[in-house]
Amino acid sequence: MTTLRVIVDQMVAAHPGGIGRYTHELTRGLIAAAPSGCDVEGIVAATTEENYALIERSLPGLARLHKTSLGRRELAAAWQLGLRSSAMNGLIHAPSLLAPLRKNNHVTGTQVAITVHNVFAWTDPSSLSPQNIAWQKAVIKRARKFADAIVVPSHAVAAELADIDNFGDRIRVISGAAAESLQLPSDADARARDLALPERYILTMGGLRPRKGVTELITALGLPGASELPLVIVGGPEADDPDLAAAVAAAGLPEDRVRTFGHLDDGDLAVIYDRAAVFVYPSLASGFGLPVLEAFTFGTPVVHSDAPALLEVAGDAGLVVERDEPIGYPHRLSEAITSVLDDSALADRLSVSGSDRARAYSWFDSAQRVWQLHADL
């Protein structure tokens, strides 16, 4: 029996985020796509019994869950020093930077693939804490020395990573996909009422960090001739966030023009995507752009920036806005949004092309490529 051990710790991190969802979906795919005679086990840092049960419940078919004796922070430090237990031998797949990297893997027959979702520690350090930057740079330095493969979600990240250091031919591009659980629920109307969604609205996702471009979007909606539809922000700032209030006021928008939601379950998120008149992803830098694929899944027209990863993922299924000349970026966003909202033929075309594009990505396919990667190694 060949066993692939996946580090699933991010699923129960304090803030799982996009990497937590990625870990969950990829591991489910790996279980479903396991070749004959192969199985999947999980590795998690010491945590609560509730978290162990959550992982096992969320990953049906997982052969075993290895529970380390160290908490997440201590485990990361130990692995950075090259320490690991016998459970860390064999085929190891890390869906994040948390990975047991050390020399002499060939002695135990161990191979480790690590996943680098972005290189913001180099390209956008202002969005990270100094501790996070130092940790990411240290792990990627160790990955250059000891990882058997480095998985990235897009060719854009592959190019950025290759510019940082020489990884030879170990970089492999394996993209993600929209979560299979992101489905429109049967009680969509009731959920829309509970969420108090406007009849028509513009949707975006992300906080107010500069690379997200959300501030530019808010500015765009305050320009002369801009759409007057309300803006809904998912996964962004709290409604009483002073930075949000300042951005809204600077744009000359009424306070109630912008609605914000924090973490939503998949049912509520599906409803919000499905009912949006247009989804706008103005990100100035991105590693993959999963929200674009999620919006495509619901046939929602998408306006997005020309960040390389977004161009790669979206193909020609979205309406692209150039980021060059930052002063004019909000104006170009406003024009693109208005063109989609005022041109039903354009909106319909984007809806159809987006739905087609979303079908090109699946977690099962991604999982098969991961299995093939480890077979190649």
298-320 per-position pLDDT tens digit: 999 999 999 999 999 999 999 99
If you average pLDDT over residues 126-130, what whole number do you get? Answer: 89
117 vs 80, which has greater pLDDT? 117
- Collapse the DSSP code of 119 into the 3-class scheme (helix H, G, I; strand E, B; otherwise coil) and give the result: coil
If you average pLDDT over residues 105-117, what whole number do you get? Answer: 82
| pLDDT tens-digit readout, 228-237 | 999 999 988 8
Asked whether residue 366 falls in the same domain as residue 274, the answer is: no
pLDDT value, residue 104: 61
Evaluate whether residue 6 is within a structural domain.
yes
Across-strand partners of 280? 303
Cβ-proximal residues to 315 (8 Å cutoff; 6+ apart), any chain:
357
Asked whether residue 346 falls in the same domain as residue 366, the answer is: no
Asked whether residue 128 falls in the same domain as residue 237, the answer is: no
The full DSSP string for 64-117 is EEEE-SS-HHHHHHHHHTT---GGG-SEEEESSS-----S-HHHHT-EEEEE--
Asked whether residue 235 falls in the same domain as residue 105, the answer is: no
Asked whether residue 204 falls in the same domain as residue 91, the answer is: no
Asked whether residue 245 falls in the same domain as residue 213, the answer is: yes
Evaluate whether residue 182 is within a structural domain.
no
pLDDT value, residue 68: 92
What DSSP designation does 35 have? P
Asked whether residue 292 falls in the same domain as residue 372, the answer is: no
Are the CB atoms for 177 and 25 separated by under 8 Å? Answer: yes
Angle, helices 266-275 vs 290-297, to 10°: value is 70
Asked whether residue 216 falls in the same domain as residue 170, the answer is: no
Are the CB atoms for 334 and 224 separated by under 8 Å? Answer: no
The closest alpha carbon to 28, from 290, 365, 367, 371, belongs to 367
In angstroms, rounded to a whole number, what is the distance separating the alpha carbons of residues 6 and 56? 13
The domain containing residue 343 runs over which residues? 188-358
Evaluate whether residue 156 is within a structural domain.
yes
- 17 pLDDT band (50/70/90 cuts)? confident
What is the overall mean pLDDT for the chain? 93
Across-strand partners of 115? 151
Please identify which residue in the block is written with the tokens 């100094």: 130
If you average pLDDT over residues 206-229, what whole number do you get? Answer: 94
Evaluate whether residue 183 is within a structural domain.
no
Are the CB atoms for 5 and 92 separated by under 8 Å? Answer: yes
Is 80 exceeded by the pLDDT of residue 39? yes
pLDDT value, residue 83: 73
Print burial letters for 185-212: b (CB count within 10 Å at least 16), e (below 16). Answer: eeeeeebbeebebbeebbbbbbbbbebb
98 C-beta neighbours (distance < 10 Å), count: 23
| pLDDT tens-digit readout, 80-110 | 877 766 667 789 999 999 999 887 655 567 8
In angstroms, rounded to a whole number, what is the distance separating the alpha carbons of residues 355 and 298? 7
Asked whether residue 97 falls in the same domain as residue 193, the answer is: no
* Least confident range of 168-172, 262-266, 289-293, 332-336: 262-266
In angstroms, rounded to a whole number, what is the distance separating the alpha carbons of residues 186 and 188? 6
User: 88 — phi, psi (to 5°)?
Assistant: -95, 10
pLDDT value, residue 84: 66
| pLDDT tens-digit readout, 134-156 | 999 999 999 999 999 999 999 99
Is 90 exceeded by the pLDDT of residue 1? no
Please identify which residue in the block is written with the tokens 């085929």: 91
Asked whether residue 303 falls in the same domain as residue 369, the answer is: no
312 vs 76, which has greater pLDDT? 312
pLDDT value, residue 89: 79
Two structure tokens written together for 260? 């914000």
Is 90 exceeded by the pLDDT of residue 276? yes
Asked whether residue 348 falls in the same domain as residue 203, the answer is: yes
Q: Read off the CATH number of the domain in which 308 is found.
A: 3.40.50.2000
In angstroms, rounded to a whole number, what is the distance separating the alpha carbons of residues 133 and 61? 36
Asked whether residue 291 falls in the same domain as residue 353, the answer is: yes
| pLDDT tens-digit readout, 350-365 | 999 999 999 999 999 9
